[in-house]
Structure 1
Amino acid sequence: MLDIPSRVRVHVETLLAAQNDMGVCDAFEQYAPVGKPDTMNAPHPPKVAGIDSTVPSPAHTVAPTQAAPGAPSATAVTGSGATGPGTAPGAVLQDRLAGWVSDLTTLHELTERLTRTDSLDSALDEALRAGAALVGARRGLVVLEPGDGLGPDRTIGLGLGRADLGHMETVPRSSLPYGRILDGLPGGDGEIAQPDLFAEDGLDPRHREVAARLGYAASYALPLSTEGAGRLGAAVWLYDEPAEPVERQRHIVGLYARHAAEHLARLVEVERTRACMATIAEELLPSRLPRVAGVQLAARHRTGPRGGGDWYDALPLPDAALGLAVGSVTGSGPSAIAAMGRLRASLRAYAVMEGEDPVAVLSDLELLLRLTEPARSATALFAYVEPALRKLTLAGAGHSPPLVIGARRTEYVETSLSAPLGMLACWEAPSVEFTAEPGETVLLYTDGLLQRTGEPIDRAFARLHTAAAGVPRSLRTDAGAIADHVLRGMLPDERDLGARPGRAKSSPGDGGTEDVVLLAARFE
């Protein structure tokens, strides 16, 4: 603390923090003493760009300190700028600065928490909770509905169940605060405060009925928009009793809402990019799996958040044969997805011409990759299947071995060791033949299934074996049920991969960075 004449005691660190955070020159001008102190000049810090110095007083400001008996009055100290008889300007200034610093600290902590969110749903939930704390509400909802109509659309509630949100959807949209904001109706270009819904004239009867059912009596809504992205959505907070935020709460939540809208705009673009890449990757994979007598097929595919190059294929071949393939291209993003599409299309051509010799198929594929994309490598496994004999002839290039799941055995197929495609000047490895028993399932998969566990590779293989061996007997007659059970055993913390009949479902960005592909073939 520094003793400054004119009896104004100001903590230096508090002043510096306020100067750096808010620009409090107006406050200094109001409460600075007349004339120059003996030890140092009164501080006149410059304004900080982007911060409004005319912030209303904190709601928790205490009563002014009374001057001690016999002490000079505040008027004598500060002149005409004094706030009144008996007011100590130093105490008022310190209290106001403390309020500003407290509010800015809270705002900083909340925006830091929001910035750490990396998914759209988590960001919306965090923004809704932080806003409720700032305005003093217990419940609320945020509706994401970008004005360009390209999505994604979301509705997330705080303290409201799905049934409650369903009740609110029965209210005419134009009578709800978020509906007026999202539809650009009159009065929907800024905050909308409804301090007492039941005393409001002209309130829609259905809105009144739903509010009574859900037990809220007031609401406060803010638009979520940016200059670049335009309107993104709206947030509404609900009060159990008639109430509305005070001026200072509105100011702070308005600052937070502007920051939240910028963060949400970035996440919306990321979400759109991920969805676009997932759609492209899915369209490059088989639209449906072929129906072949004696074999039941099922596939599961999950795209990582950056979009990877894992793929699968199943195609009928001459002489009632079947070709099965899985593979992975190095890298991620659009370039890896494009390379995956080219590699899969080339393998289909080679399989039709010489599919009965898997080694020749992969040799041709390796030569093509080395000549056309020398900087890229890939792994692949191709199996030539004769369903009538339940016989498989397969060759792999740097790929994980298939897993056989049956009533009497659950074991990996012994395959020859080989480098990935594009890693050697000339690739060739012997093929392997084995025969499946009736009712057994051969599981082909990509390395992403092992890598998403986050465990060392030997433990991941052991975990996969355990998950496959634990498939209940009641599920072993369905290839899709077997694939789903294995996925749940390998990735228990992630959503289950459902699928439409004959086609895998692609889910972008669900907790892992690697693509996952499973192709199950069950022999009758």
Structure 2
Amino acid sequence: MGVCDAIRHNAPVGKPNAMSAPHLPKLSGINPPIPVSTQTSVPPPDVPGSLLQDRLAGWVSELTTLQELTESLARTSTLDSALHELLGAGAALVGARRGLLVLEPGDAGGPSRTVGLGLTHAELGHIETVPRRATAHGRFLDGLPDTGGPQASPDILGDPGLDPRSREVALRLGYAACYAQPLTTPAAGRLGVAVWLYDEPAEPLERQRHLVGLYGRHASQHLVRLLELERARADAAVIREELLPARLPPVPGVRLAVRHRTTPRGGGDWYDALPLPDNALGLSVGSVNGSGPSALAAVGRLRAALRAYAVLEGEDPVAVLSDLELLVRLTADPAGSATALYAYCEPGHRTILLAGAGHAPPLVTGDLRTEFVETSLSAPLGMLSCWEAPSVEFSPLSGETVLLYTDGLLRRTGGPTDHAFARLRAAAAGVPRALRLDPGAVADHVLGAVLPGGPEREDGPEDVVVLAVRFD
């Protein structure tokens, strides 16, 4: 008999009072009536009403707790955070304080993860040394018979058929019982399994099993959505890496380094370094509107076209960008508009000739100066019926580093544009003298000083590219 059945069984004859009639919480995706174990069966009608009310209050409290846990899980937006949330909530429902969760999708599409609760990385490693066939979660992951549902091991050390390695690890880590809850959905199949560990021989009550089962089904659906998102991000990352140079070319007279930080969805910032005849070097950075697959496709088209134009007429940056502008207009590129900066560099003469289309100016930094290169104002590609802006030539000094960067570096500061430029200049001027010999160290210092949350923050709103060129 469930909660609703108990209410109906003990309902008074006649029309109930609307204010005093019991109401159960409505849970999203969860059916309120739950089966009750023999330990919590509804008493007969002659049981005092106060006891029945206490039982009903306990069931309502459990349902409310379940709702709160599912809402907390729904707020997680990354796979790792969801796994940790699921493991902790399940431990609360079954009365355990330690556990582990193994994510191993049955379609072999990855990703595979193992996270722990109250277990160190080394302790998780000890558990992984136990043969899979000797553990409840391993048998489920391997698809062995009779492993499709929850598995309780109430007295691990008292099991006469226990694998010797299982006994050794249990004694070493100090657990005596476990409860395994498979994570599956009808559509996706096997996702993984959560295991909770008890310090003493024990197993969850029937009502605890039912609650964690409800929670596990809801959690599995949430994990499927996050898995799809994680896989899409991984695919976008692979495509993005294929669209950018695998390595920067070695060119006498300069040393190159690049730092590329992307948004989870994959943005449209790009860079390139192309060796040209006579030991010259073509350098470019740029960005397209938007993010995701369409932005990545636009990046591939623009970068490939700019490379071709640089080979044909690389000594004239204005001609290179004019050709790129014409291509954008004639092909009706879905990027809509894009910014780009192209620089023709002759390291032997320490000269750079550059032109920009709606792009931020380079920054030159060294022991004697830190200043922005004065470039002419120009519209982004695709914004005008005809684009042309004069080029600018400048000569870096020996030992100076030129920073080419995308607008995302400025926008990630979160402040007005003039403040962002000032912050960038101050960061470059503050590079310690010992770090100035390495362009990569210069780029790392600038990113660490400019970006809120540090350069490794992965949830930033903008892509960032910093291409550092140090002249010997």
TM-score, length of structure 1 as denominator length: 0.84
Q: Does 1:489 find its partner at 2:469?
A: no
CA deviation after TM superposition for structure 1 residue 461, in Å: 2.1
> 1:514 — aligned with what?
462
Q: Does 1:404 find its partner at 2:371?
A: no
Which of 390, 398, 402 aligns to 1:438? It is: 398
Which of 74, 96, 107 aligns to 1:148? It is: 107
Q: Does 1:96 find its partner at 2:55?
A: yes
Matched AA of 1:304: T
When residues 59 and 107 of structure 1 are mapped into structure 2, their CA distance, relative to the original with a 3 A threshold, is farther
Which of 128, 134, 150 aligns to 2:93? It is: 134
> 2:120 — aligned with what?
161
Q: Does 1:37 find its partner at 2:14?
A: yes
Q: Secondary structure at the match of 1:193?
A: strand
**C-alpha contact 2:30 2:214 (8 A) present in aligned 1:** no
**C-alpha contact 1:26 1:54 (8 A) present in aligned 2:** no
When residues 293 and 459 of structure 1 are mapped into structure 2, their CA distance, relative to the original with a 3 A threshold, is same
CA deviation after TM superposition for structure 1 residue 359, in Å: 1.0
**C-alpha contact 2:412 2:452 (8 A) present in aligned 1:** no
Alignment of 1:106-505 (within 5 A): 106-373=65-332, 376-491=336-451, 493-494=453-454, 496=456
Larger Rg: 1
For residues 263 and 34 of structure 2, the distance between their equivalents in structure 1, rounded to whole angstroms, comes to 48
For residues 2 and 156 of structure 2, the distance between their equivalents in structure 1, rounded to whole angstroms, comes to 39
Instruction: Report the RMSD for the aligned CA atoms in angstroms.
Output: 2.6
**C-alpha contact 1:449 1:516 (8 A) present in aligned 2:** yes
When residues 40 and 450 of structure 1 are mapped into structure 2, their CA distance, relative to the original with a 3 A threshold, is closer
Amino-acid identity (%): 68
Describe the superposition over 1:3-62 as per-residue Cα deviations: whole angstroms up to 9, x where unpaired. xxxxxxxxxxxxxxxxxxx984421343235xx43777998999x99637352169899x
When residues 40 and 280 of structure 1 are mapped into structure 2, their CA distance, relative to the original with a 3 A threshold, is closer
For residues 461 and 137 of structure 1, the distance between their equivalents in structure 2, rounded to whole angstroms, comes to 53
When residues 103 and 318 of structure 1 are mapped into structure 2, their CA distance, relative to the original with a 3 A threshold, is same
Q: Secondary structure at the match of 2:348?
A: coil
**C-alpha contact 1:58 1:100 (8 A) present in aligned 2:** no
Describe the superposition over 1:70-124 as per-residue Cα deviations: whole angstroms up to 9, x where unpaired. xxxxxxxxxxxx445xx22x33442232122111111111111110111111111
| Structure 1 gaps, min length 5 | 1-21, 65-81, 497-508
Aligned residues: 467
**C-alpha contact 2:274 2:281 (8 A) present in aligned 1:** yes
For residues 387 and 105 of structure 1, the distance between their equivalents in structure 2, rounded to whole angstroms, comes to 69
Q: Secondary structure at the match of 1:199?
A: coil
For residues 408 and 50 of structure 1, the distance between their equivalents in structure 2, rounded to whole angstroms, comes to 68
For residues 149 and 495 of structure 1, the distance between their equivalents in structure 2, rounded to whole angstroms, comes to 33
Q: Secondary structure at the match of 1:198?
A: coil
Describe the superposition over 1:298-342 as per-residue Cα deviations: whole angstroms up to 9, x where unpaired. 122222122221110110112211000000011211111111101
Describe the superposition over 1:453-482 as per-residue Cα deviations: whole angstroms up to 9, x where unpaired. 323322222222232222222222222222
| Structure 2 gaps, min length 5 | none
When residues 213 and 24 of structure 1 are mapped into structure 2, their CA distance, relative to the original with a 3 A threshold, is closer
Describe the superposition over 1:425-466 as per-residue Cα deviations: whole angstroms up to 9, x where unpaired. 211111111111111111111111222232332222222223
**C-alpha contact 1:28 1:43 (8 A) present in aligned 2:** no
**C-alpha contact 1:60 1:99 (8 A) present in aligned 2:** no
Q: Secondary structure at the match of 1:301?
A: strand
CA deviation after TM superposition for structure 1 residue 191, in Å: 0.8
CA deviation after TM superposition for structure 1 residue 164, in Å: 1.2
For residues 431 and 52 of structure 1, the distance between their equivalents in structure 2, rounded to whole angstroms, comes to 71
Matched AA of 1:26: D
TM-score, length of structure 2 as denominator length: 0.93
Alignment of 1:8-19 (within 5 A): none
Q: Secondary structure at the match of 1:369?
A: helix
When residues 38 and 367 of structure 1 are mapped into structure 2, their CA distance, relative to the original with a 3 A threshold, is closer
Q: Secondary structure at the match of 1:165?
A: helix
For residues 171 and 444 of structure 1, the distance between their equivalents in structure 2, rounded to whole angstroms, comes to 52
